[in-house]
Amino acid sequence: MTVYDSRKEIPVPEWFNFTFTIPGGIIYKGENTISNGKFSASFFVPRDISYENNRARITVYFSSPNSDGSGYTENIFVGGTDSAAAPDEEGPRISIYLDTRSFRAGDVVGDSPLLLIDYFDEHGINTASGGIGHRLEVRIDDQPTPIDLTNYYKGKPDSYQEGSVEYHLSNLTEGKHVVRAKAWDVYNNSSTTETTFEIAATTQLRVSNVYNYPNPFSRSTTFTFLQNQLVPIDVDIKIYTLAGRVVKVLRASGVMDRFVRINWDGRDEDGDELANGVYLYRVMARTVDGSNTAETISKLSVLK
């Protein structure tokens, strides 16, 4: 459902004061569930309306596995201010991710990552097209002109309070980058959030930030690392004594996550707990087709 602001009457003095009418800007756009042929929606009218107090418009497009259609009405008016509206001085909450929502700040991503931004505000996100400077925007590094994401916003079904944006980034150089997102609520409070990420060429498999936590550990630990592939990878982790004897091999197949986690109960191949001491472990990753490989070595300690 899309709700439009009051239509505007535009005079043209050069044409003997001829007046023509244009539709108002969008003040709400969201998805709603149809139940028994009926639907409803609630939302806060943003401050960025025109205050023309003219007729407005509601447009509906619907679909189901068996039918689809559309309809509209202009039997509404938009204008005025609710003097009893609850005060609000806080901007929206903004969460930024790259490729997946398992993303963490500083993660390595491919050279054309999918930007995912989640928004939430008690009174709703401002996506009205009539307010100057109140767009959903994002900047990469210090680019002078922000990217307007307003038309990419998609509200959560049956909610005016939250929604998200998906947008593919491109033409990014290898290395570290900063992304800053800005949004406004319907009360015209703004918020800005930023995160960092690193671009790595996806042609060469890369493994970085290899850790196990906790370390030292007594009973169990989790191996973690970042990888930069968009295709599944297979992972082997081999644990060695300092003398070079393999005591345990951990395997994970078809891993899609960029941030990889592999748990270990601290037992060897015979099911016995390892003795106290320092051990080496080698992380070996490869694409499923075997065309790309990467490995690294680190240390862990067992302390009971």
**What does the radius of gyration of the chain's CA atoms come to, in whole angstroms?**
27
At residue 130, the pLDDT reads 60
Verify that 276 and 224 share a domain, yes or no.
yes
Asked if the model's pLDDT at residue 76 lies above 70, the reply is yes
CATH of the domain at 252: 2.60.40.4070
Rounded percentage of the chain residues whose pLDDT exceeds 90: 55
**Residue ending a domain, choose from 174, 199, 224:** 199
**Same domain? 29 vs 106:** no
In a domain, 288, yes or no: yes
113 in the same domain as 58: no
The helix/strand/coil state of 18 is strand
Q: Who's near 136: CB < 8 A, 6+ residues apart?
A: 117, 119, 125, 127, 148, 149, 150, 152, 153, 165, 181, 182, 183, 184
What are the strands of the beta sheet with 57-63, ordered from one edge? 26-29, 2-4, 57-63, 68-73
- My answer on whether 12 and 98 are in the same domain is no
Whether 152 is covered by a domain: the verdict is: yes
User: Domain boundary at 149, 183, 199, which?
Assistant: 199
Residues 268, 229: one domain? yes
Q: Tell me the C-alpha to C-alpha distance, in Å, between residue 258 and each of 120, 169, 202, 229, 294.
A: 26, 17, 12, 7, 14
CA 7, CA 153: separation in Å to the nearest integer? 23
Containing structural domain, residue 194: 93-199
Q: How far apart (Å, rounded) are the C-alpha atoms in residues 120 and 118?
A: 7
The amino acid at residue 215 is N
Q: Does the structure show a pLDDT above 90 at 59? A: yes
Of residues 87 and 139, more confidence is placed in 139
pLDDT in tens, 152-188: 999 899 999 999 999 999 888 888 999 999 999 999 9
Q: Is residue 84 one of the residues assigned to a domain?
A: no
Is the pLDDT at 291 greater than 70? The verdict is yes
Residue 32: its H or E element: none
Residue 47 shares a structural domain with residue 132: no
Q: Which residue pairs, CB below 8 angstroms and at least 24 apart, start in 150-159?
A: 153/29, 153/119, 153/125, 153/127, 154/31, 155/29, 155/30, 155/31, 155/125, 156/31, 157/30, 157/31, 157/32, 157/33, 158/31, 158/32, 158/33, 158/41, 159/30
Residues 245, 172, single domain; the answer is: no
| Residue 258 belongs to some domain of the structure | yes
- Of 4, 2, 3, 1, which is closest to residue 63 (Cα–Cα)? 1
Q: How many CB atoms lie within 10 A of CB 123?
A: 19
* One domain for residues 127 and 195: yes
In-domain check, residue 220: yes
**Domain tally for the chain?**
3
Provide mean pLDDT across the span 194-206: 83
Query: What are the residues whose beta carbons fall under 8 Å from the beta carbon of 219, sequence distance 6 or more?
Result: 265, 266, 273
Residues 231 and 195 in one domain: no
188: CATH: 2.60.40.650
CA distances from 54 to 23, 44, 46, 130 (A): 10, 18, 16, 15
Q: Looking at the structure, tell me whether residues 296 and 215 fall in a common domain.
A: yes
Tell me whether residue 78 is in a domain: no
Same domain membership, residue 6 and residue 58: yes
Q: Which tens digits make up the pLDDT trace of 98-154? A: 988 888 898 888 778 899 999 999 999 988 766 567 889 999 998 889 999 988 999
What pLDDT was estimated at residue 180?
97
pLDDT for residue 43 is more than 60: yes
- pTM, to two decimals: 0.71
List pLDDT tens digits, range 225-272: 988 887 889 999 999 999 999 999 999 999 988 889 999 999 999 999
End of a domain among 199, 222, 239?
199
Q: Please provide the average confidence, as pLDDT, over all residues in the chain.
A: 90
Name which residue leads in pLDDT, 85 or 133: 85
Whether 85 is covered by a domain: the verdict is no
For residues 99 and 190, state if they share a domain.
yes
Judge whether 124 lies within some domain. Answer: yes
